[in-house]
Amino acid sequence: MHGRKVWWAIASVVVGMAVARCGSKSGRDDQNPVEETPFDAAELAGLDTGLPDAQPPDAGVPDASPQPPAPNEAQGFTSYTAAHGLPLSVRDVSADSAGNVWVAGADALYLLKPGAVWFQKLGVAEGLAAYRVLSVAGMGAGEVWVGYEGLFAGKEDNDPPEILRSGGVHHLRLVGDLVEGTRYEIGTPPGDPMFCDDPQYRDSVCLTGRYKLRTVFVIRPNRNSVSSGDVWFGATHGVALWDESRQAIVEHAHSAIYGPDKNGYYTHLSGDHWGLAFDADGNPWIGGAHREAHMPYSSLGFTERFDTILDTWPDKDEVNRTDDHVSSMAVDSAGKVWIGSIVNSLARYDPTTASFEYFTPSNGLPDKAVLALAADPDGTIWVGTYVGLHRYDPTARTWRSYYWRTVGLPNDEIHSLQIDRRTAPRTLYIGTQGGVSIYRGP
């Protein structure tokens, strides 16, 4: 496709409407079981499950329902765990403008309403698709985007239809005690002239469609420009965009088109894309397994005609390619781009000088593997690692670290960071291996 310089295609396949009743504790995904929380779901729902008394429905008098404990409060952090209804591992956490906190818990979607201390579980029985929930992004009041883990059978575009069109994203809205929404497959449906007119694809993708972006790792709304309402998805193979003005998903781009493989032959550089961040004009920086790039979206729209392509951790030579393995990206208040890698640690790129600064354990970075990044409006950078949450002050060039033993984080393994600048002060949402922390401190 790229040889034909086809830069994007509209892909807005509506899969179905989901209606989910909040608070129901049923509907576990049997393919991805998790341990139960310490509180019995029926008791929390106030059902009659107590001592026998000859009364229906179960000949029991309701016992006093146990109440979840208050969340842990320490130094500006409010932390929730399995004791508050969360799963044992949180993949992502965000909030909508009404203060509803949405959590991607792999096995299900979880919701904490304002004033509550118990997270309500929304799973397959409540209307979500039968895929693992990996990413979330809160939008307007009661509105959230959810990203799924897709399926792969190893045959790329020739996978069976139920595999090919798996995963994708769900756009959900809270209506009273119900969640209603539409799931979208990120791809190009069968019959698109782009493929059907090309002999290379006429007997394959023309007939089946193309759905490469099945697993959605990260979702980032664009709130920085006139494109407010647009939502970007980092996924397998590349990135895609929900174009609010067109009410459609546009796919796809990846941060480098061609590069050398281990034998010196040039091949597509796509891979998983975890990095998404916006400059002050709303133009995205995207980062994948191999490269990073800046898309001039405000002037050219969704395109692969990038004005900057980075090889942050440079290849040794044409044959020995050193992949960047980007895990996250952030743009600070000075316009500098922070690039986290699960393998290569952390780098800062200055677009004005086209120069890099690198951070590793040898010069103060608390851990080699960077799992998540977030840029604070005050200019500091939050860094999530396997061994705690850390905050870097570029002006003072100092690090401050936060751990479960010091501020009560549910766990020191930090999976996701999202900053909500719509609140005063801003709010940092932290997803960890053991739960969720919310930081509203200075």
Q: How many helices (H) and strands (E) does the chain have?
A: 6, 33
70 confidence band (pLDDT: 50, 70, 90): very high
Predicted local distance difference test score (pLDDT) of residue 258: 58
- Give the range of the structural domain holding residue 167, as residue numbers without chain letter: 87-214
Residue at 119 is within a domain: yes
Residue at 392 is within a domain: no
| pLDDT of 6 above 80 | no
229 confidence band (pLDDT: 50, 70, 90): confident
Q: Which of 286, 268, 266 is nearest to 277 (CA)?
A: 286
| pLDDT of 45 above 80 | no
2 confidence band (pLDDT: 50, 70, 90): very low
The answer to whether 435 and 427 have CB atoms below 8 angstroms apart is: no
Rounded Cα–Cα distance for residues 385 and 40 (Å): 33
Residue at 189 is within a domain: yes
Calculate mean pLDDT across residues 163-170.
96
| pLDDT of 238 above 90 | yes
DSSP 131-197: S-EEEEEE-STTEEEEEE-----S-GGGS-HHHHT---EEEEEEETTEEEEEEEE-SB-TT-HHHHT
| pLDDT of 63 above 50 | no
pLDDT tens digits, one per residue of 283-297:
999 999 989 999 999
The β-bridge partners of 180 are 19, 173
Count of the separate structural domains present in the chain: 1
Calculate mean pLDDT across residues 266-276.
80
Average pLDDT, the chain: 84
Residue with tokens 């799973």: 123
Virtual torsion, Cα 337, 341, 344, 347, nearest 10 deg? 10
Q: Which of 339, 218, 335, 351 is nearest to 279 (CA)?
A: 335
27 confidence band (pLDDT: 50, 70, 90): very low
406 confidence band (pLDDT: 50, 70, 90): very high
Residue at 162 is within a domain: yes
Residue at 247 is within a domain: no
Calculate mean pLDDT across residues 328-341.
98
**CATH for 196:** 2.40.10.500
Residue at 108 is within a domain: yes
**Residue 306 Cα to chain centre, angstroms:** 23
Residue at 105 is within a domain: yes
Predicted local distance difference test score (pLDDT) of residue 190: 87
Residue at 139 is within a domain: yes
